[in-house]
Amino acid sequence: MAKHPKRNRAETVLVIGLGRFGTSVASSLVRMGHEVLGVDENLNRVQETADRLTHVLQADSTNPEALRQIGIADFKTAVIAIGSDIEASILTALAVIEAGVPTIWAKATNERHGKILKSIGVKNVVYPEARMGQMVAHILTGKMMDFVELDSDFAMVKTRAPAELVGLTLEQAQVRKHHGVSVVGIKRPGEVFTYAQPDTVVEQDDLLIVLGEIALVERFASGS
């Protein structure tokens, strides 16, 4: 089963590998208004995602000729979402690189896999399992409800307001001065998140969105 792109391929994002990660990326792109061509060697995966993605196609991505037939050289952006089969991931990456696709993102299952992908020319390598594990660890061991690493030493977290801030405005609390982090958003029970203002009074059940160095946001969320 296949749906073929009708628009210029340069406007379509190519997602190779329709497992959980690839399908999540592709579906999110579609929701954001982008056209997506999803490719997988497994026909069942292609059939399962046919109704969610703009276009789907069954093909062996490790075969340069198969990629040539789908017009790989015309795409500007490709996501290689193959993780469990490292050999297939690397062969696919080589084929996509040799085809001249300018922007390539690839999933890596571990550091060794990532190093190999980078060594053959993939500049954008992501480690979704590692990031998920880190997020869960932060949530389990502290008072955070969400943790997003923005860089190797910088993160955004969602946490309950520390007791010491309750009853104070953010200006009075001087969070950045005393804790080295910035409160950028705040949510009251039953309300939506709003931007934090200097005159915002922190209440007991407030949720805060905090930005800062990882060690500092960890300390702030733990109340220490």
Q: How does pLDDT run across 74-113, given as a tens digit for each residue?
A: 999 999 999 789 999 999 999 999 999 999 999 998 889 9
Residues 39 and 140 in one domain: no
* Beta strand extents in 55-172 (DSSP E only): 55-58, 77-80, 103-107, 124-126, 144-151, 154-160
The CA–CA distances, whole Å, from 165 to 127, 168, 203 equal 36, 6, 8
Last residue of a domain, one of 126, 150, 181: 126
Domain of 164, CATH number, reads 3.30.70.1450
Residues 140 and 214 in one domain: yes
Is 1 inside a domain boundary?
no
Is 117 inside a domain boundary?
yes
The average pLDDT across 167-190 equals 92
Residues 196 and 151 in one domain: yes
Q: What is the pTM of this model?
A: 0.66
Residues 136 and 122 in one domain: no
Residues 70 and 159 in one domain: no
Is 160 inside a domain boundary?
yes
Residues 207 and 109 in one domain: no
Is 111 inside a domain boundary?
yes
Last residue of a domain, one of 126, 148, 177: 126
Residues 74 and 172 in one domain: no
Is 97 inside a domain boundary?
yes
* Domains identified in the chain, total number: 2
Last residue of a domain, one of 91, 126, 161: 126
The CA–CA distances, whole Å, from 84 to 23, 57, 87, 128 equal 15, 20, 9, 12
Is 2 inside a domain boundary?
no
Q: How does pLDDT run across 110-143, given as a tens digit for each residue?
A: 889 999 999 999 999 988 876 666 666 666 656 6
Q: How does pLDDT run across 1-24, given as a tens digit for each residue?
A: 444 444 455 578 999 999 988 999
Cβ neighbours for 93, distance < 8 A, ≥ 6 positions apart:
80, 104, 106, 117, 120, 121, 122
Is 3 inside a domain boundary?
no
Residues 116 and 16 in one domain: yes
Residues 41 and 107 in one domain: yes
Residues 69 and 93 in one domain: yes
Residues 13 and 42 in one domain: yes
Residues 113 and 150 in one domain: no
Mean pLDDT, the chain, whole residue set: 87
Domain of 97, CATH number, reads 3.40.50.720
Domain that holds residue 201: 131-222
The pLDDT value recorded for residue 127 is 84
